[in-house]
Amino acid sequence: MASAPKIAKSSKTKNDALDEEAEGEKFIHQQDAIEKIDEVQNDIDRLNEQCSDEILKVEQKYNKLRQPHYQRRSEMIAKISNFWVTAFVNHPQVSALLNEEDEEALQSLTKVEVQEFEDVKSGYKINFHFAENQYFENKIISKEFHLTETGDPSSKSTPIVWKENKDLTKVRSSSGRKRSHSEQQESFFSWFLDHTDAGSDELGEVIKDDIWPNPLQYYLVC
């Protein structure tokens, strides 16, 4: 066809007409094949959804089965003074976020709980339980991550009720303890104010996926 002379449609030869017909038929066959691929694709998509649902059910089942063990682990951990602050200090990534006063404040951290939400996919919450301390009034400070109805990641935290002049997320006035004159006070607790990385919160994910599954290994590395 490439070398055939261009001719007006009205004057086409019998061969051209046959070729066009063949081309047309080929086109119809291909369209038909595409539709069938699309149907098969729908079947595959349905199977993928069923597969995800079944995996979700397995995860939910084991989340429930793990609960009493986590409970018991928390009870044992509570018997060890400074367990959590030690584990945090020994964890390379978390340690980098801790200044001296953070460590002092975290000595009152008695319990950490990671709760995966029922449907797993939609998020998780980390509860930090504190004993009476000189920094804040809260007994529990939480940060949670979830997907909004539109599928966007979002996070929220318990507001921290700081004691007077004890807000570790704020630069201390010169009347306070002597400090370097950095503009912004970097503190572990600033993480509770930061909701910019709700979709992939580094500290949240380190606690959930790395420390929580086995905190003892970080407590013992010292």
Q: Does 164 bind its own copies (CB under 8 A)?
A: no
Taking CB under 8 A as the rule, which mask of x and - marks residues 103-142 in contact with its own copies? ----------------------------------------
28: left (phi > 0), else alpha (psi -120 to 50), else beta?
A: alpha
- In the block, residue with structure tokens 């995996």: 55
Sheet holding 153-157, edge to edge: 109-116, 123-130, 140-147, 153-157
Rounded distance, CA 175 to CA 173, Å? 5
Q: Does 58 interact with its own copies (rule: CB under 8 A)? A: yes
Asked if 54 interacts with its own copies (CB under 8 A), we say yes
Q: Is residue 161 involved in binding its own copies (CB under 8 A)?
A: no
Q: Which stretch binds its own copies (CB under 8 A): 58-66, 135-143, 146-154, 171-179?
A: 58-66
- 153-157 and 109-116 strand pairing: unpaired
Q: In Å, how far are 44, 65, 105, 108, 194 from 136, measured between CA atoms?
A: 54, 35, 9, 11, 18
Q: Closer to its own copies at the Cβ: 81 or 150?
A: 81
Number of residues that bind its own copies (CB under 8 A): 38
CA atoms within 13 A on the CB side of 138: 19
Q: Residues 4, 18, 37, 140: which binds its own copies (CB under 8 A)? A: 37
Select the residue interacting with its own copies from 70, 114, 115, 154 (CB under 8 A).
70
Query: How many C-beta neighbours within 10 Å does residue 168 have?
Result: 20
Give the residues lining the site for its own copies (CB under 8 A): 29-30, 33-34, 36-38, 40-41, 43-45, 47-48, 50-51, 54-55, 58-59, 61-62, 65-66, 69-70, 72-73, 76-77, 79-81, 213-214, 216, 219-220
